[in-house]
Amino acid sequence: MWKGILNKFGRFIVNLLLIAATFSYAMFQGGFVSWFLFYTLIPFLLYSILLSFVPLHIEEVSREIQPAKLARGDKASVMIRFKNKTGFPLAFLTVGEIGLNDEIVGKSTNLFFVGFKRNFSWTYEIPELERGVIEFSALQFTFTDFFGWTVRHKFIPLQQTVIVYPKITKIKYGKVERQFDQGGMLAPFHFVKDTSLVTSVRDYQAGDRFSWIHWKSFAKDETLRTKDFEVRQSQEVLLVLDATVNRHFEDAVDLAASVLQTIVENNGDVSFYIAGEEQAFYPQIKRGQLEKVMQQLSMVQAQDSKNIELLLMKEGKTLDSSILLFTGELSDSLRSFFKNHGNKTKGIICFVLSSEQEIRERMKENYYNVKVVPITKAMFPDVFTEVLRP
C-alpha cells in the first residue's frame, strides 16, 4: 500500500519538476525554441497531473469462455467485456488477467487507446489446455498518459473456475470376451443387460432409461416404475486407474475416462477406483454420477511413491471382480500383484500405455488369469472391438 502511495506521489512530483524545469529553461534561455518547448510540453504535463487525481470508473466487467466444456488439448477462447464510465478522456489503457500462470498471462493482455470510447471487448486464446483446474481471479486495468509519466492501476475481482476434463475418445462399443493365454480361463467382460426378458418391476431410479418405464403400472397408480431385466452372462467390472506412476499418466487418464463413459452410456455395471496418493472409489456408477467421477479425473495427479499392490488389496475392493486396469508402466509392484493375487479375481486386463516403438520392443508378459495389453493413443477407438478381440 505504502509503496503504491509513494510511487504515485513521486510521479506527481516529477511532473511538477518537469513544469518548473521547462519554465525555468524558457525564462533564462529565452528565444523561440525554449518557449516552444515549454508550451508544447505543458498540455501533456497538465494532462498527466489531472490523470493522477481523476476518479476512474470501469463497470459491467464480464468474462466469457468458450466452449463451455473443455478437455485436455482443447483451445479455449476467452472474451473480456467492460464499460468505461470515466468522465475524463483517457489515453492508454492496458487490461490483463492476474492470478494465472505466466504462460497464460502473456497471452491475456491487451492495449486500448480509449479517448471517449465507452464499450470495449477483446478475445484471447489459450491453446493446448492441460487437464486440471484454471482459476481466474481478477483483471488489472492500467491507465497511463502519453509518455508514461503517470501510471494508475485498478483491480477488479472477477473470479471464475474452469475445469479441463480428460480428453474423451469415442469408442466403438462391443461386448468384450478375452481368452487368457495361461490358465485356460474365459473371462466374459459383458456390461449390457439383456432387455428382451423382463423379470420384475422396481421403483424408478435416476439414470434409468425412458424406454424401461413400466407404463401399465404407471397407469394404475401414477407411480413411476422400471422394468428389471434378466442379466445374461453379465457381471460388474471394476475400472482401476494406476496413479502411482507418472509415465504416460495423462494418456492413461484419457483412456480410463473414455472407457468409463462408454460403459456408463451403454448402461453397463461398472465401478471405478483411483489407486494413488489420493484414493477414490465410486461403486455402481450411473449416468447421474458420471460428472462427479469426471471432475475427480480432471484433478487427479500421479506420484511415484505408493505401492499399488497394497492399494489394490486395500479393503478387498479388487477381489472377486473383473478388472480393467489402466497404467503407464508395468511396475514391479503391479507385477507382484498379478503373481500373488491375479487368481483371486475373475480376470484382469491391464492396459499399458506405450509408444509404437515400445510395443514392438516390449517382451510379452503372461500371468495366470491376467492379460497385459500394450496400447497406443491411436488404438483407443477400437479398444473393445479390435484390441481385445479374442
What's residue 62's pLDDT? 94
In angstroms, the CA 183 to CA 348 distance is 13
Beta-carbon contacts of 345 under 8 Å, excluding residues fewer than 6 positions away, are: 318, 319, 320, 321, 322, 323, 369
Which class for 220: exposed (0-12), middle (13-18), buried (19 or more C-beta within 10 A)? Answer: exposed
Q: What is the mean pLDDT of each run of 10 residues along the chain (390 residues)?
A: 54 70 72 75 84 90 93 93 92 86 68 90 90 91 88 91 94 61 43 51 66 68 66 67 93 95 87 90 89 94 85 71 89 89 84 75 71 89 75
CATH of domain 176-193+231-387: 3.40.50
Cell reading at 149: 509519466
Cell reading at 196: 428382451
Into which CATH architecture does domain 58-165 fall?
Sandwich (2.60)
What predicted TM-score, i.e. pTM, was given to this entire model? Answer: 0.75
Query: At 299, which helix (H) or strand (E)?
Result: helix 287-299
Strands (E), the chain: 58-66, 70-71, 76-84, 90-98, 109-115, 119-126, 132-144, 151-165, 176-179, 186-189, 198-203, 225-229, 237-243, 270-276, 280-282, 322-327, 348-353, 366-367, 370-375
CB 262 within 8 A of CB 343: no
